[in-house]
Amino acid sequence: MAFQIKNFVSIVASMINHMKGTQKTITDFNVGSVARTLVEAPAIEMDELYQQMFIGLQEAIPVATYNSFNFAALPALPGSGLITLTVAPSANPLLVPAGTVFSYQNGATGYASEADVTIPAGNTTATILVSAVTAGALGNIPANTAFISAAPLPAGFVSATNPAAFTNGTDAETDAQRQQRFAQFIASLARGTIAALVFGAKTTALFDSNGVEIEHVASAVVVEPYIADPTQPIALVDLYVHNGVGGTSSALVTQCLNVINGYIDSNGNKIPGWKAAGVVVNVFAATEIVVNFTGTLTALPGFSKPSLQPLAQAAINNYVLALPIGGDFIVAEAISLVMDIPGVANIVPAPLAPPAAPTLGSVAAGALAGATYFSKITYVNVNGETLASTEASLAVAANHVLTVQSPPAIAGATGWNVYLSTATGTETKQNATPIAIGTNFQEPNTGLIAGAALPAANTAALSDAQVGASQKPMPGTTTIN
């Protein structure tokens, strides 16, 4: 029989029914009567015992389950990375001791150096590995953050900055996240399934000679080529992985393939794989697609806008970083995260920024005379077109045609347009429909056409970005004005 909770009312009713059925002397069981009061007193205690037992069961079941599988919750991890420290020239070596804490204006946490670093005499820079003093996602910061001080302050301190973003800080795993990860673990026990491949891939990690983890698979997704192309083998699977930081290494991809297929470790132990027999699994690093975000923030009265800007920037970057492979960027979700910051009155996203100046080249084709070409390019999205890039020019020899390289892929851009002319500032559009990102443009052998003029306004309002199944969104340039 299943465990059932009895509340105060049902306990009192049961006791009164028992008394009525076993004697006839006491007949007044109305509210306020002596008999009913005598019954209600222990009923209150019994109700409390039922509730305590139920709460205890609720707490004990997950603890017992997790302990049975040795499935501990993941702790918070501090954001970490490299800082470039610049000091004034000195005739003596300068020691930057381990534990030196670097901080930046309105920063949520400081960053402590992991080891002693000595700057040789005459040198002015050093690269220092630091970790956030406070663990969690609040330690993630964008690239080129200017650190304004360090404690203890190195002699001759000039500046300190991080050349790359810190993106590996994570908050402690919540109960809901742990439950979800446990469900994925249970689904992976029957190895050979898609769930097993994904879970197995996430167990992949690389370690240095001291046993310290240096890289791991943070996100994985399975793509079955047969679904999109029936000519592909059914027993072929493509597995895309990402390290959650950026620049997934080939070593991690290779190790992940070993984990999926099974391998023999350095001690000669046979480690079982995660794929089904007869299935070929190809492992690739997920293609990174940049998400740029520019917005204008308004602070509530009594709050400092400069103190809110880095918090908003971190919220956007952490949101993008947490997106899985194939996870779409939703503008409303990004805005909601910023609006949840105490003190933020509003955040208004700006349109897509124009691409950088185009890269030009030429190939032998046609019979056109030599000329100097001027070019500008734009991004296109579902809402419109950006302003044009800065201008680039190239002298092209006779019997050659101009080529224009595609701008890089960014989240939200669905294509690009090319504008050309043989006179500066007079470029016109050369393509009838937007060119796919990644596809270069080549001038027709018949020469340029007189197309539409350059856009006068940016109509490419920021929109949700659909990300490909093998693409991992990554924070790009996040500017909060």
pLDDT in tens, 240-259: 999 887 889 999 999 999 99
**Is 80 exceeded by the pLDDT of residue 210?**
no
> Within this chain, do residues 384 and 405 fall inside the same structural domain, yes or no?
yes
End-to-end CA distance of the chain: 63
**Is 80 exceeded by the pLDDT of residue 213?**
no
Average pLDDT over residues 77-96: 88
> Within this chain, do residues 376 and 438 fall inside the same structural domain, yes or no?
yes
Average pLDDT over residues 323-348: 93
Q: Is there a domain that residue 437 lies in?
A: yes
Q: What is the pTM of this model?
A: 0.66
> Within this chain, do residues 54 and 105 fall inside the same structural domain, yes or no?
no
**Is 80 exceeded by the pLDDT of residue 124?**
yes
Q: How confident is the model at residue 208 (pLDDT cuts 50, 70, 90)?
A: confident
What pLDDT, on a 0 to 100 scale, did the predictor assign at position 141? 84
pLDDT digit string (tens) for 380-393?
998 999 999 999 99
> Within this chain, do residues 303 and 281 fall inside the same structural domain, yes or no?
no
> Within this chain, do residues 307 and 386 fall inside the same structural domain, yes or no?
no
pLDDT digit string (tens) for 270-312?
888 999 888 999 999 999 988 889 899 999 999 999 889 988 9
Average pLDDT over residues 461-472: 88
> Within this chain, do residues 97 and 51 fall inside the same structural domain, yes or no?
no
Give the chain's domain count: 5
Q: How confident is the model at residue 373 (pLDDT cuts 50, 70, 90)?
A: very high
pLDDT, greater one: 239 or 55: 239
**Is 60 exceeded by the pLDDT of residue 1?**
no
What are the residues whose beta carbons fall under 8 Å from the beta carbon of 27, sequence distance 6 or more? Answer: none
pLDDT digit string (tens) for 409-427?
888 899 999 999 999 999 9
Q: Is there a domain that residue 339 lies in?
A: yes
> Within this chain, do residues 342 and 473 fall inside the same structural domain, yes or no?
yes
Domain of residue 121, residue span:
80-161
**Is 80 exceeded by the pLDDT of residue 209?**
no
Nearest Cα residue to 193 out of 237, 255, 243: 237
Q: How confident is the model at residue 212 (pLDDT cuts 50, 70, 90)?
A: low
pLDDT, greater one: 184 or 462: 462
pLDDT digit string (tens) for 104-116?
888 889 999 888 8
> Within this chain, do residues 385 and 438 fall inside the same structural domain, yes or no?
yes
Q: Is there a domain that residue 355 lies in?
A: no
